[in-house]
Amino acid sequence: MAALKKFFLLAIILPLLCSCMQGNIAGQYFGIIPLPNGSKMEIELTLNPDYTFSIQTIYQDNLDASFKDSGTYGITDKKYITLRYQGDGIKFLKKDDDGSLNILTVDRKEIKGPLRNSFKLKKKSNLLF
Neighbours of 31 (CB within 10 A): 19
| pLDDT computed for residue 22 by the predictor | 46
Spatial contact of 122 and 31, defined as CB atoms under 8 Å apart: yes
Q: Which structural domain, as residue segments, surrounds residue 82?
A: 2-126
| pLDDT computed for residue 63 by the predictor | 67
What percentage of residues in the chain have a pLDDT greater than 90? 58
User: What CATH number corresponds to the domain at position 100?
Assistant: 2.40.128.640
Strands 62-76 and 52-59, sheet pairing: antiparallel
Whole-number Å distance between alpha carbons of 115 and 16: 36
pLDDT tens-place string over residues 39-82: 999 999 999 999 999 999 999 887 677 899 999 999 998 899 99
Question: Smallest Cα–Cα separation from 30: which of 41, 46, 47, 43?
Answer: 43
| pLDDT computed for residue 75 by the predictor | 95
Supply the pTM of this predicted model.
0.77
Number of domains comprising the chain: 1
